[in-house]
Amino acid sequence: MSRSLSLPASVVVLVLLGSPLAHAVDGVLEINQTCAEQTGCFPGDAPGFPVEITVEGAYRLTSNLAPPTLAVDGITASVVVKIDLNGFDVKGPGTCSGFGATRNCTNGAGAGIRLVSGANVVGNGAVRFFGDDCIAMASGRLHDVLLASCGGSGVEATDAVALDGAQLLFNEGDGATLGRGSRATDVTTQGNRGHGLSLGASSQARDVSALSNGRAGIEGLAGGVQLERVAVDGNLNGINVGNASQVSHATAGFNTAIGIAMGAGARLSDSTATNNGSVGMQVGARSRVRDAVSNGNTTHGFLGLGGQIFYTGVSADLNGGSAIDSPVGGESILQSVALTGGTTISGPFTEFGLNSCNGSTTCP
Ligand SMILES: [Ca+2]
């Protein structure tokens, strides 16, 4: 009767052969370390990294993934895919040292996830310690991801990306480089060597914290950028955006250079800049600055790089330079400003409404 207590040898062989092969659950194809290394995870994927996806569809990790060298990607897809990281960690063999401007990671050709087509969706997990970008992609949606300690950027996207819920930490490149028309929400980006968040033209970001990055906390020099409810602290420049951009409800503190720098035609409101190492807030010609406070910065509280700037409801104190400096390009307008400090204003201004400069109702 001993034969009934043990499985036939043929069944054992089938089980052993079958176990590393990933299979579909409700149409979702599985990816795990065993199939990646031993058998390939599905048709079109040869054994060994990277896991190659050549068929459109939905995929899900069922273990952590760890490629053996910095030269290979973790996952590559040549088609539109949806990848659920399922709480797992895609982790390369890299190492890093330093922080912010001194962050230095081992570099290599391998990205954690490389998506060649557009319109991909990736979420719910971590990608770390790759030699190239953690995620390289064209366009799509990333959500609920930790992208950290990669030799490139946390995410490098050539086109529009919706980035919703991300921790972008300690990468040697940018926390994220996103193409034009992108949207970033609920993002923390800290200690990257490049920009915390680099935005293409006409992109939007809200509820972003950018801390201690080696370049700008949030950069968008292509212009037409909209930022709302952002905190930038301890970066090189806090915010550095181009023409026709809008910033509201921003706080910029303790950045090494300028707190908030915007191009011509800026709309800057309901924001504060404190204790930055250069100008608190800088805008180009024909900008509007409303309900803004700029205190304790090393040089000017507000600096206009051109004329015809409308300042209303702003205050400045304890700055090392002028409270407002607008040296060129036609008269600017002051309305309901409260300025204190050594030189309250330099440059041509027209006043109306109630102003206060060092306690005087007439500003110099
Ligand atoms: Ca493979």
Could you tell me the residue ranges of all domains in the chain?
22-220, 243-364
Q: How confident is the model at residue 14 (pLDDT cuts 50, 70, 90)?
A: very low
Whether the pLDDT of residue 364 is over 80: the answer is no
The CA 38 to ligand 1 mean position distance, Å, reads 9
Predicted confidence at residue 18, as pLDDT, reads 42
Which tokens hold the place of 151? Answer: 């030799």
Cα 109 to ligand 1 centroid, rounded to whole Å: 16
Q: What single DSSP character describes residue 102?
A: G
Percent of the chain topping pLDDT 90: 85
Separation of 43 CA from ligand 1 center, angstroms?
10
Phi, psi of 347 (to 5 degrees): 110, 165
- Give me ligand 1 centre to Cα 128, in Å: 19
Read off the pLDDT of each residue in 245-260 and give the average, rounded to a whole number: 98
Structure tokens at 333: 């307008």
Q: Residue 362 — very low, low, confident or very high, per pLDDT cuts 50/70/90?
A: confident
Instruction: Name the DSSP class of 47.
Output: S
Residue 352: per-residue pLDDT: 87
For residues 31 and 213, give the distance between their C-alpha atoms in angstroms, rounded to a whole number: 34
Query: 259, 235 in Cβ contact below 8 A?
Result: no
Alpha-carbon gap, residue 332 to 326, rounded angstroms = 8
CA distance 49 to 116: 17
DSSP letters for 53-69: E-S-EEEEESS-B--SS
Strand, coil or helix: 341: coil
* pLDDT given at position 185: 98
Q: How many CA atoms lie within 13 A of 191 on its CB side?
A: 16
CA 62 centroid distance within chain: 28
Distance 41 CA to ligand 1 centre (A): 7
- Quick one: which of 120, 165, 168, 178 has its CA closest to 147? 168
Residue 53 Cα to ligand 1 middle (Å): 9
Ligand 1 centroid–CA 118 distance in Å is 21
At 6, which amino acid appears? S
Distance CA 48, CA 100 (A): 34
pLDDT at 342 over 90: no
CA of 68 relative to ligand 1 center, distance in Å? 12
Look at residue 19 in the predicted model and tell me its pLDDT: 43
Position 283 scores a pLDDT of: 97
pLDDT of residue 227 exceeding 90: yes
What are the C-alpha distances in Å from 118 to residues 122, 134, 147, 325?
12, 17, 20, 46
Q: Which of 3-12, 116-125, 135-144, 247-256 has the lowest mean pLDDT?
A: 3-12
What number of residues does the chain have? 364
Distance 134 CA to ligand 1 centre (A): 18
**Does residue 328 have a pLDDT over 80?**
no
Q: Give the integer Cα–Cα distance in Å for 155 and 70.
A: 17
111 C-alpha vs ligand 1 centroid, how far in Å?
14
Distance 72 CA to ligand 1 centre (A): 10
Check residue 330 and give its pLDDT.
78
Task: Write the pLDDT tens digit of every residue in 89-136.
Answer: 999 999 999 999 999 999 999 999 999 999 899 999 999 999 999 999
Of 23 and 283, the structure prediction assigns the larger pLDDT to 283
> How far, in Å, from the CA of 300 to the mean position of ligand 1?
57
Q: 169: CA distance to ligand 1 center in Å? A: 28
Q: How far is the CA of 55 from the centre of ligand 1 (A)?
A: 14
User: What pLDDT score was predicted for residue 22?
Assistant: 58
Above 60 in pLDDT, residue 171? yes
Query: 17 in helix, strand or coil?
Result: helix
Q: Is the pLDDT of residue 7 over 70?
A: no
Per the prediction, the chain carries an average pLDDT of: 93
Per-residue model confidence as pLDDT tens digits over 30-76: 999 999 999 999 999 999 999 999 999 999 999 999 999 999 999 99
Task: Judge if pTM exceeds 0.85.
Answer: yes
Average pLDDT rounded to a whole number, residues 230-234? 98
Using alpha carbons, list the distances in angstroms from residue 100 to 122, 155, 175, 198, 209: 26, 17, 11, 15, 15
Residue 236 CA to ligand 1 centre (angstroms): 41
Asked if the model's pLDDT at residue 3 lies above 60, the reply is no
- Cα of 22 from ligand 1 centre, angstroms: 13
**16 confidence band (pLDDT: 50, 70, 90):** very low
Q: Which helix (H) or strand (E) holds 332?
A: strand 332-335
CA distance 146 to 18: 32
| 67/83 Cα distance (integer angstroms) | 17
